[in-house]
């Protein structure tokens, strides 16, 4: 995420000059969407989704969610009739399940983040030259981060063009 912001800042600084703005057009670019929209990113995410360990961990998270929900429903249904010991035992079970859920969720997020960082590292050397060629070809004077723009027509967004060119770059 920080890398993408730095890349966008560098690209913007590279392009922002009075002469460049006067000579070219102003477009928007969502760098994160461009990188995540590449074939490499899609293949990497798909590979992760098919990974046995990742799939098992995701199934564990889903199971934990179901278990927590079942315990909550049980407490709503029968909780009034439970003794203090039963209530304490129930709370302890819920706390353990929530802790397991949080840990498993963090592991899933870490795996996903690791894959995305690897994709960014692989694509970073390609982005600048591909973007510079796109700027030259399209006579672009300024690129604005699409996430910072209040409104822009789709024909002012070069994200899809960058994705296409990154996919073709070797």
Phi, psi torsion values for 142, nearest 5 degrees: -155, 140
- What's the pLDDT at 169? 87
Q: Express each pLDDT in 7-51 by its tens digit.
A: 665 555 555 544 444 457 899 999 999 999 999 999 999 999 999
Q: Express each pLDDT in 123-140 by its tens digit.
A: 999 999 999 999 999 999
Give the Cα separation of 164 and 37 in Å (integer): 9
- What's the pLDDT at 154? 86
Q: Give the Cβ contact number of residue 1 at 10 Å.
A: 10
- Closest among 111, 140, 109, 119 to 37, alpha carbons compared: 119
Query: pTM, whole model, 2 decimals?
Result: 0.70
Give the Cα separation of 119 and 109 in Å (integer): 15
Q: Express each pLDDT in 147-169 by its tens digit.
A: 998 888 888 999 999 999 999 98
What tokens appear for 164 in the block?
Answer: 């296409």
- What's the pLDDT at 18? 43
Tell me: pLDDT of 109 over 90: yes
Cβ-in-10-Å burial (0-12, 13-18, 19+) of 146 comes to buried
């Amino acid at each position: 995420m920080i890398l993408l912001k730095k890349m966008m800042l560098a690209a913007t600084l590279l392009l922002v000059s009075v002469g460049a703005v006067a000579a070219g057009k102003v477009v928007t670019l969502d760098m994160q969407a461009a990188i995540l929209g590449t074939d490499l990113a899609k293949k990497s995410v798909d590979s992760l989704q098919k990974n046995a360990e990742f799939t098992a961990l995701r199934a564990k998270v889903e199971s934990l969610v179901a278990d927590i929900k079942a315990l909550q429903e049980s407490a709503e249904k029968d909780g009034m009739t439970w003794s203090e010991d039963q209530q304490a035992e129930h709370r302890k079970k819920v706390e353990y399940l929530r802790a397991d859920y949080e840990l498993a969720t963090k592991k899933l997020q870490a795996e996903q983040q690791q894959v995305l960082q690897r994709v960014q590292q692989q694509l970073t050397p390609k982005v600048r030259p591909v973007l510079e060629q796109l700027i030259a070809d399209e006579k672009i004077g300024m690129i604005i981060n699409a996430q910072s723009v209040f409104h822009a027509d789709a024909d002012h967004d070069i994200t899809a063009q960058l994705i296409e060119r990154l996919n073709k770059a070797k």
